[in-house]
Amino acid sequence: MSATVLTTSALLLDMDGTLVNSDAVVERCWRRWALKHGLDPEAALKVVHGRQGYATMAVLLPDRPVEENYADNRVMLAEETADVDGVVPIGGAPAFMAAIADLPHALVTSADSALATARMGAAALPMPAVRVTAEQVGASKPDPEGFLKGAAELGFAAADCIVFEDSEAGIAAGRAAGMRVVGVGPRAAALSPDAHVEDLTQIRVEATGDGMIRLHISAA
């Protein structure tokens, strides 16, 4: 079996679709919202992943006042936070998080703090000490702000970090930040990340003697 080896100083981790499988909740909530607004739910689901809710709404309803998007987003976040039915860890996530526990890493998610806490808890995954949530950025992915803030909080240059992402918006954000990207799951497969895995069982983490992180990525 062939393997790709990537060496880095720090890891920046998306949550939904990367560490946590929350697709069931996302689809339930966004289908309801799309139908309420006379939109095709399937079309809505093609753009929802990776972005903050208000940014998705702006794509789907471009002529609607932004204030209405922010108001709807607050309702959506409350609904998603209360609904953790079917939220489970991505394959290999518990072992992966255990392997990086003492290594530089941060969560960079489009979820707000309450939603991130609810989903990581439902998936029984440890919450990273360093995290960048929706409240801490002024622009949603695909803007690179979140990843750049995560790198800065960890104390590393952008080029010295690797992003783990599943969505088009997230991978674009990582690239815009000047970082290498490991794509996770089916959505990432067609987006030409630097490496791709079906889930985190294909990753072996090695801490090198010089403070670096070596990722051994097995072929699917």
Kindly report whether the peptide bond that precedes residue 193 is cis, defined as omega within 30 degrees of 0: no
Tell me, what's the pLDDT at 220? 60
Which stretches of 53-209 are assigned E, i.e. beta strand?
Answer: 88-89, 105-108, 131-132, 161-165, 180-184, 195-197, 203-207
**Distance in angstroms (rounded) separating the CA atoms of residues 131 and 83:** 22
Tell me, what's the pLDDT at 24? 92
Q: Which of 211, 180, 208 is nearest to 4 (CA)?
A: 180
**Distance in angstroms (rounded) separating the CA atoms of residues 13 and 191:** 17
User: What are the pLDDT tens digits along the chain (220 aa)?
Assistant: 568 999 999 999 999 999 999 999 999 999 999 999 999 999 899 888 888 899 999 999 999 999 999 999 999 999 999 999 999 999 999 999 999 999 999 999 999 999 999 999 999 999 999 999 999 999 999 999 999 999 999 999 999 999 999 999 999 999 999 999 999 999 899 999 999 999 999 999 999 989 999 999 997 6
Tell me, what's the pLDDT at 111? 94
Tell me, what's the pLDDT at 73? 93
Tell me, what's the pLDDT at 198? 96
Instruction: State pTM to two decimals.
Output: 0.91
CB-neighbour burial class of residue 192 (10 A; exposed 0-12, middle 13-18, buried 19+): exposed
Tell me, what's the pLDDT at 37? 95
Tell me, what's the pLDDT at 13? 98
Tell me, what's the pLDDT at 51? 86
Q: What angle do CA 25, 61, 56 make, to 5 degrees?
A: 40
**Distance in angstroms (rounded) separating the CA atoms of residues 147 and 54:** 19
Tell me, what's the pLDDT at 2? 66
The region that residue 128 occupies, defined by phi over 0 for left and psi between -120 and 50 for alpha, beta otherwise, is beta
